[in-house]
Amino acid sequence: MTRTRPWRTAGAAALLVALMAAGIAPARAEETAAPAYSAKGADSCLGCHDDPALLSLFKTKHARPRDDRGPFGHGGLQCEACHGPGGAHVRARGKQPAGIVDFGPHALAPPARQNAQCLGCHQSNVAHEWAASQHAASEVPCAACHTLHATHDPVLATATQAEVCTSCHQAEHTDLFKPSHHPLREGKMACSSCHAPHGSQGPFLLIGNTVTETCTSCHSEYRGPFLWEHQPVAEDCSNCHDAHGSAQPSLLKTRPPFLCQQCHEGAGHPSIFNGPQGLPGGGAPSAYLLAGGCVNCHTQVHGSNHPSGRLLMR
């Protein structure tokens, strides 16, 4: 039995009763007893913890006095609904943190212990997906993303969410600053437009079952089916696009013709960079063609519904 973290042993109370009945009083009852809650709820905490930043909790959904599902509803444990039993902490005038659960990536309480405090109430909307998610597997605490003592939790707002996520995901932070990017920096989209941070059925915590399904939830014009499919498009949008950002226009992984030439080698016509000599039948030099790529002619690169669109040109 651990002495310093009574919560680790769910059966601590039962065991204590058994020990008492057998006349074996534990040497340090306070540490082995079921942790006690403070007598006066939040009032006993606020006497010491009166930092205005902490008090902003009272402007959030968690502090609604008439929401019986929440910490401050009828019979609610108030501060201790999240922070755990604080009786010993109060009696020790704050000096002894035992029993108190603190939150965040650098907290004393281990992530699983922190998250259990939250998941007890958030069964229906979070717990189900969470258990199998990559974030749970990597022991990311809820409070690494969520800030609860704040009028507005930054991770819940489109404009501020990316900053929270990229505090850990540096590569995506770099991508957002590339010339072509989804409008996250502009505050019009969030990481959660594509990702389900609590867990998902798809790969990479995506909201869809596949990359393509995720993309076409917004870009429905490319969902198909097309009369003339372009196989890599039907397969996976990320064959050609980088979702997070690219130095190439249109979030392309590389620029045509190189993009196309990863798969097409001299097919039908020499697939060299578009000089006039590269075109079917040769032809006069043309600034338009020299500057362009394959998509100048094969404009329907995502697929075509035109009866004669086999070559994706109309």
Residue 262 near ligand HEC by CB under 6 A: yes
Residue 247 near ligand HEC by CB under 6 A: no
> Quick one: tokens of 169?
């995901």
Interacting residues of 271 by C-beta distance below 8 A, sequence separation 6+: 257, 260, 261, 264, 265, 278, 294
Of the candidate spans 1-9, 17-25, 27-35, 267-275, the one that interacts with ligand HEC by CB under 6 A turns out to be: 267-275
Cβ 305 to ligand HEC shortest distance, Å:
14
Cβ 10 to ligand HEC shortest distance, Å:
18
Cβ 299 to ligand HEC shortest distance, Å:
6
Selected binder of ligand HEC within 219, 227, 305, 306 (CB under 6 A): 219
Please list every residue from 48 through 67 that binds ligand HEC, using CB under 6 A: 48-49, 54, 57, 61-62, 67
Selected binder of ligand HEC within 30, 113, 129, 180 (CB under 6 A): 180
Residue 156 near ligand HEC by CB under 6 A: yes
Closest CA to 63 of 49, 50, 45, 81: 81
Selected binder of ligand HEC within 32, 147, 200, 304 (CB under 6 A): 147
81-86 long-range contacts (CB < 8 A, ≥24 apart) are 81/117, 81/121, 82/117, 82/118, 82/148, 83/117, 84/7, 84/35, 84/117, 85/35, 85/36, 85/37, 85/38, 86/37, 86/38, 86/44, 86/45
**Closer CB to ligand HEC, residue 12 or residue 82?**
82
Q: What angle do CA 21, 24, 27 make, to 5 degrees?
A: 130
Cβ 96 to ligand HEC shortest distance, Å:
8
Q: Which residue has the tokens 């998941």?
A: 119
Residue 98 near ligand HEC by CB under 6 A: no
**Closer CB to ligand HEC, residue 26 or residue 110?**
110
Residue 34 near ligand HEC by CB under 6 A: no
259 DSSP β-pair partners: none
- CB 134, CB 140: distance < 8 Å: no
Residue 311 near ligand HEC by CB under 6 A: yes
Q: What is the DSSP letter of 34?
A: P
Q: What angle do CA 10, 13, 18 make, to 5 degrees?
A: 120
Number of residues that bind ligand HEC (CB under 6 A): 134
Cβ 25 to ligand HEC shortest distance, Å:
27
> Quick one: tokens of 160?
């501020």
Selected binder of ligand HEC within 6, 16, 44, 199 (CB under 6 A): 44
Interacting residues of 158 by C-beta distance below 8 A, sequence separation 6+: 187, 188, 189, 190
> Quick one: tokens of 132?
């199998």
**Closer CB to ligand HEC, residue 264 or residue 306?**
264
Cβ 2 to ligand HEC shortest distance, Å:
19
**Closer CB to ligand HEC, residue 1 or residue 299?**
299
Distance, in Å, from the CA atom of 95 to the CA atom of 99, rounded to the nearest integer, reads 12
Selected binder of ligand HEC within 12, 16, 98, 164 (CB under 6 A): 164
